[in-house]
Amino acid sequence: MTVQSAKEFKTARRPRRRLSASLVITVIATSVLVLLAILAIFADWIAPYDPLKQNLIEALQSPSAAHWLGTDDLGRDVLSRLIHGCRIAVIAAAEATTIAVLLGVPIGLFIGYRGGWWDWVVMRTVEAIVSIPGIMVAIVIIAILGAGLHKAMIALGILYSTSFLRLARGVVLAEREEVYVRSARVIGASDGRILLRHIFPNIAPPLIVQVTLTVGAVLLSEAGLSFIGLGVQPPDASWGTMLNTAAAFMDLNWFLAIPPGIAIIVTVLSVNLLGDVIRDAVGRGIVVGVKPQTPAARFETFASVAADSPLPPRREDEVLRVEGLQVMVSSREGNEVPIITDLSLAIAKGETLGLVGESGSGKTLTGLAILGLMGAGVRTTHGSITLNGRELSSLTEKQMEKVRGNEVAMVFQDPTTSLNPAFTVGSQIAEVLLTKKGVSKKEAWERVVELIHRVGIPRPEERARAYPHELSGGMAQRVAIARALSCNPSLLIADEPTTALDVTVQQEILDLFRDLQEEFGMAMLFVTHDLAVAADVCDRISVMYAGEMVEMAPVDALFANPRHPYTRGLLRAMPHASDRNPPLPTIRGNVPRPGFWPAGCRFSNRCDFRIAACDTRVPLVGTDRLARCVRAGELAMEVAS
Amino acid sequence: MSENILLEINDLWVTYWRRSLLGLKGKPFHAVKGANLSIRPGETLGLVGESGSGKSSIANTVLGLVPATSGSIRFGDVELTSMRTHYPPAVRNQIQAVFQDPYSSLNPSMTVEDIVTEPLRVHTGMNRSERRTRAVELLELVSLSEEHLGRHPHQFSGGQRQRIAIASALALEPKLIVLDEPVSALDVSTQNQIINLLYERRDALGIAYLLIAHDLALVHHISDRIAVMYLGHIVEEGPSDRVYKAPAHPYTKALLDAVPLLDPEAQRRRRAARKSAPAIDAPRVSTTGCPYQNRCPSVMPRCQDAMPPAYPVNGGGTASCFLFDGGAVRHAPAIGETA
């Protein structure tokens, strides 16, 4: 996110609906807890009767004007006992949770950071405790300490400290490997400082959730322990002892169980809901990654951008045809922002079209849109996608499933994550054949070995039985390619297939793509950020910027004579493009995020050739090659001269 | 001579042990096998290699994040390896780092001010307002400004985050900054902005860089000298231009030949050349001898017997390859052409 956009976000209005929902919850939960606190503090004044005062004549009465919630077996006022029970509940929750946090978090932080024997001994102990039902552990501790509220809460504190310990340890184990912790060590921060200043703040969100869960659990456990007579001792009033009484007189007055029951439910629910709200509020400040933002007012038309691109000429051997594609993403605020607009392209049999652009240009999403695999909140609003003459949007999800893998296949960036680590690579290819082609197991396996051999992996029989982690990155990518090709797709979408690989391996994989295309004749959509890779493997290249195509040309023409200033900028910025010392050529500024695209030419705010005409929408023009720039003609002449 | 050397690495070995079931030491894995390197004050050394070559292990060892197994690392007059990972503050504040991924290298819960001033809090007695003044100075050095002080990392783009990381690394005016793939996670148009910034700061402040990267083309722009690593060995070392334009070791050549060019026609010629080149038989790596022998087009029988020592190369530097034995500078046959 750019810094300007952060500013705009602050001033942007929050939508009302979302705000009100969480606000209502917050207000209700907070009021319940405030009421609970007031009742606990001022119980002596608020309660209409002495909670311990017995009146056997009025025992087990139903609610009445004198006793709003009736009376119990000894004729004590239930309402008064309930109010005094609040005090016990608050003390119990505070005591046990505090003990649990103070005991669990420091030990968890320490063993997580130090590791080794400390970690081993403590974790085995914790596991032993956790393996026994909690209430049993509490009873054992109470057996040692003796019964009574405070002793029971110490027992619960020790019991629940194990969950805080494991939480803190888990967070530290993850954070310890983070690059910013390494940075802190390089700076020379001491272990204590790293733990307290760098790691501890990141525990806050899960810690808050755990605290609220624990408060709820403690309330329940306190009630449980008091119910079986190990917590609060009669005649003192607590919700648990009240339930105990109610259970004994269930036949005579069922209503006795209702007030303490509801009190427990409402309190636990309020604590948990408030915890969720607080976690969201705290988490908002440190959320990693980028959040969708409200669109700036500068983007004049959200609904649709006029599809003014010339449609690609029709060809006999056309495999894929995309016309006027527009994709919108819903932002957090509930409205939709375009991320791809007015995109038209066609790929013929045996042809490779490169889709080149920086992050945020929409190139990856184009591939996913064709497959119909866009995530939640992303949808195609305009345009048509035709594969082998069939309009894909008219297909049902079932039909689309048949198309994927069969007619169109995809190779992803990271082969180590796109292959399932739990299965052998051979079985993952065979699975595609079995489900899509319906061949026998034996045939499938023979084909698997053949395919693995074809993608240049030596000893294919042996490698087919290997698990993904047993293969190098290059080998795993070859397997992923073999899987993609297993059903002879007419279109292969490759999304940055060599970006995660070393250059020497990248070269081999690019050669493999070329060879396979010659042999299988599939059309390829090759998505990459690296223009040089595109130069190697593509026949035509389409340059994307901020959700639209800015230039499209045959590969030789594009590199010899780029027409769009963005293409020129990218080419000049490539590391091997120049042979000189810094300052190296740059494109000023950053790629604008969706919703913050300038009106008119979206590259205009970074362009050195900007003129007044750039502030109105610029169409994509041309015949054999296309450019979206009002000065494309001029710039082409400049290069030629 | 030694007064003029800032960092000197001699016969450095870094070994990791796989843990066995009981937490005992298991099989050793040698990430760095006897590396020699030196950096003069204000000089940039580019350390290039593919994943698993050991370049990041060297970086982590210099930074004191991983202990050296044997060998020596001298920083000025101080021997670092004897301290394992516990460097005294006087050394810590002289060696700083910028890491690869700007998304995980900044603590998400800290503000920019906290991040940039953290080294000052640890190493100096500056008070809050002095630190703040210095933080603004530092942000301006990296083309950010005072208004960014109170923001959190998630409010910045990748390039801006890397600027913040650089500002923090510059805070103590160190003599050496280890740059571990500082731009490889960034977009092309942002990469050069960061490279330019690093270059500019180096000239202004006289800092030495140890630049770890996988892209030779990028490294050569900013480095004075380049060292190339392969499977734990430094196979070639020399002046930046010489290594980039006239690579000596067959591996360096292969690495340069594999970098895709912006010229489709040249790519086609290279592909044709690769196809006509005889396939290299790839047996299991022999445990002795040159690590590159099974991929090398110029492999000789003696390559299996011993690791070639570093032989001097015309134009400066050394190559660990028997082709350069006895000063006879023969060039390995090229695969395709180099740009």
Render pLDDT for A549-602 as a digit per residue (tens, 0 to 9): 999 999 999 999 899 999 999 988 887 766 667 788 888 888 888 888 888 899
Lowest average pLDDT, out of A59-68, A315-324, A514-523, B10-19, goes to A59-68
How far is Cα B68 from Cα A406, in angstroms, rounded to an integer?
52
H/E segment holding residue A544: strand A540-545
Close Cβ partners of B127 (under 8 Å, ≥ 6 residues apart): none
Judgement on whether residues A226 and A137 belong to the same structural domain of the protein? yes
Q: How far from each other are the two terminal CA atoms of chain B, in whole angstroms? A: 36
A288:B157 CB<8 A: no
A204:B99 CB<8 A: no
Ranges of H-type helices in A419-494: 425-436, 441-454, 460-463, 473-485
Q: What is the reported pLDDT for B19? A: 67
**Closest Cα in chain B, distance from residue A197 (Å):** 9
Point out the residue among A286, A289, A591 whose CB comes nearest to the CB of B187: A591
How far is Cα B271 from Cα A535, in angstroms, rounded to an integer?
12
Q: What is the reported pLDDT for B155? A: 85
**Closest Cα in chain A, distance from residue B90 (Å):** 10
How far is Cα A105 from Cα A155, in angstroms, rounded to an integer?
17
How far is Cα A209 from Cα A171, in angstroms, rounded to an integer?
14
Judgement on whether residues A575 and A546 belong to the same structural domain of the protein? no
B258:A507 CB<8 A: yes
Kindly state the average pLDDT of the residues B78-101. Answer: 88
Q: What is the reported pLDDT for A7? A: 39
B176 φ, ψ (degrees, to nearest 5):
-140, 130
Lowest average pLDDT, out of A371-385, A469-483, A523-537, B274-288, goes to B274-288
Chain B, nearest residue to A569 by Cα = B189
Helices and strands in chain B: count of H runs, count of E runs: 10, 12
Q: Mean pLDDT, chain B, as a whole number?
A: 86
Structural domain includes residue B280: yes
Judgement on whether residues A555 and A505 belong to the same structural domain of the protein? yes
Structural domain includes residue B281: yes
Judgement on whether residues A350 and A400 belong to the same structural domain of the protein? yes
Give the side-chain half-sphere CA count within 13 A for B264: 18
Cβ–Cβ < 8 Å for B177, B202: no
Chain A, nearest residue to B271 by Cα = A511
Confidence of residue A292 (pLDDT cuts 50, 70, 90): very low
> Is A591 in the B-facing interface, judged by CB distances under 8 Å?
yes
Confidence of residue B74 (pLDDT cuts 50, 70, 90): very high
B165:A184 CB<8 A: no
Q: Which residues of B touch A580 (CB under 8 A)?
A: 221
Structural domain includes residue A36: yes
Structural domain includes residue A296: no
Structural domain includes residue A408: yes
Structural domain includes residue B114: no
Tell me the pTM.
Answer: 0.82
> Is A533 in the B-facing interface, judged by CB distances under 8 Å?
yes
Residues 14-33 of A with CB under 8 A from B: none
Judgement on whether residues A266 and A389 belong to the same structural domain of the protein? no
The DSSP code for A621 is B
A536, A560, A584: which is the final residue of a domain? A560
Judgement on whether residues A189 and A253 belong to the same structural domain of the protein? yes
Look-up: residue for tokens 């030491």?
B25
> Taking the alpha carbons of A83, A87, A93, A94 in that order, is the dihedral positive or negative?
positive
Q: Which among A557, A528, A560 has a CA at the least distance from the CA of A540?
A: A557
Q: Which residues of A touch B281 (CB under 8 A)?
A: none
The pair of structure tokens assigned to A149 is 């509220």
Structural domain includes residue A84: yes
**CA B40 vs CA A134, A349, A608, B171, B172: distances in Å:** 63, 57, 40, 21, 19
Domain total in chain A? 4
Structural domain includes residue B239: no
Residue A205 has pLDDT above 90, yes or no: no
How far is Cα A268 from Cα A219, in angstroms, rounded to an integer?
7
Judgement on whether residues A405 and A527 belong to the same structural domain of the protein? yes
Q: Is the peptide bond before B119 cis (omega within 30 degrees of 0)?
A: no
Q: Is the peptide bond before A235 cis (omega within 30 degrees of 0)?
A: yes
Q: What is the reported pLDDT for A137? A: 83
How far is Cα A547 from Cα A530, in angstroms, rounded to an integer?
17
Q: Which among A292, A348, A298, A355 has a CA at the least distance from the CA of A325?
A: A355
Q: What is the reported pLDDT for B58? A: 95
**Closest Cα in chain A, distance from residue B198 (Å):** 10
Range of the domain at B275: 269-327
How big is the CA angle at A630 (ends A625 and A633), to the nearest 5 degrees? 55
Residue B332 has pLDDT above 90, yes or no: no
Q: What is the reported pLDDT for A9? A: 38
Q: Which among B158, B259, B271 has a CA at the least distance from the CA of B215?
A: B259
Q: How far from each other are the two terminal CA atoms of chain A, in whole angstroms? A: 40
Q: Is B152 exposed, middle or buried (0-12, 13-18, 19+ CB in 10 A)?
A: buried
Q: Indicate which CATH number applies to the domain containing A509.
A: 3.40.50.300
A466, A488, A510: which is the final residue of a domain? A488
Query: How many A×B Cβ pairs under 8 Å?
Result: 203
Judgement on whether residues A215 and A346 belong to the same structural domain of the protein? no
Cβ–Cβ < 8 Å for A363, A384: no
> Is A582 in the B-facing interface, judged by CB distances under 8 Å?
yes
Please state, as a whole number, how many other Cβ atoms lie within 10 Å of the Cβ of residue A429.
26
Kindly state the average pLDDT of the residues A173-180. Answer: 87
Percent of chain A with pLDDT over 70: 91
Cβ–Cβ < 8 Å for A134, A159: yes
Point out the residue among A1, A536, A575 whose CB comes nearest to the CB of B156: A1
Cβ–Cβ < 8 Å for A295, A331: yes
The pair of structure tokens assigned to A295 is 């669109």
The pLDDT tens digits of the residues spanning B125-140 come to 899 999 999 999 999 9
The DSSP code for A582 is S
Cβ–Cβ < 8 Å for A208, A275: yes
Judgement on whether residues A555 and A581 belong to the same structural domain of the protein? no
Q: Which residues of A touch B165 (CB under 8 A)?
A: 183
Point out the residue among A1, A193, A582 whose CB comes nearest to the CB of B155: A1
Structural domain includes residue B315: yes
Residue B52 has pLDDT above 80, yes or no: yes
Close Cβ partners of A178 (under 8 Å, ≥ 6 residues apart): B104, B107
A309 φ, ψ (degrees, to nearest 5):
-75, 145
B109:A514 CB<8 A: no
Kindly state the average pLDDT of the residues B186-191. Answer: 84
Kindly state the average pLDDT of the residues B96-102. Answer: 89
Close Cβ partners of A452 (under 8 Å, ≥ 6 residues apart): A425, A426, A429, A460, A463, A464, A478, A479, A482
Structural domain includes residue A24: no
Domain total in chain B? 1
Q: What is the reported pLDDT for A353? A: 96
Q: What is the reported pLDDT for A397? A: 85
How far is Cα A538 from Cα A347, in angstroms, rounded to an integer?
11
**Closest Cα in chain B, distance from residue A533 (Å):** 6
Structural domain includes residue B299: yes
- Of these ranges, A19-23, A295-299, A402-406, B232-236, the one predicted with the greatest mean pLDDT is B232-236
Look-up: residue for tokens 């202990």?
B67
A468, A488, A508: which is the final residue of a domain? A488
Range of the domain at A446: 420-488
Is A502 strand, coil or helix? coil
Cβ–Cβ < 8 Å for A473, A505: yes
B260:A189 CB<8 A: no
How far is Cα A44 from Cα B332, in angstroms, rounded to an integer?
95
**Closest Cα in chain A, distance from residue B173 (Å):** 12
Residues 91-120 of A with CB under 8 A from B: 120
Confidence of residue B149 (pLDDT cuts 50, 70, 90): very high
Residues 209-268 of A with CB under 8 A from B: none
Judgement on whether residues A154 and A272 belong to the same structural domain of the protein? yes
Q: What is the reported pLDDT for A10? A: 38
Confidence of residue B283 (pLDDT cuts 50, 70, 90): low
Q: Indicate which CATH number applies to the domain containing A80.
A: 1.10.3720.10
Q: What is the reported pLDDT for A288? A: 34
Q: Which among B265, B189, B261 has a CA at the least distance from the CA of A567?
A: B189
Judgement on whether residues A473 and A390 belong to the same structural domain of the protein? no
Cβ–Cβ < 8 Å for B312, B326: no
Structural domain includes residue A361: yes
Structural domain includes residue B96: no
Q: What is the reported pLDDT for A273? A: 87
Chain A, nearest residue to B176 by Cα = A186
Q: What is the reported pLDDT for A637? A: 60
Ranges of H-type helices in A340-385: 363-371
Point out the residue among B96, B118, B157 whose CB comes nearest to the CB of A590: B157
Q: What is the reported pLDDT for A200? A: 86
Point out the residue among A185, A204, A536 whose CB comes nearest to the CB of B267: A536
**Closest Cα in chain A, distance from residue B98 (Å):** 8
Judgement on whether residues A120 and A264 belong to the same structural domain of the protein? yes
Close Cβ partners of A190 (under 8 Å, ≥ 6 residues apart): none
Is B31 strand, coil or helix? strand
Please state, as a whole number, how many other Cβ atoms lie within 10 Å of the Cβ of residue A192.
10
Bigger pLDDT: A227 vs B253: B253
Q: What is the reported pLDDT for A304? A: 54
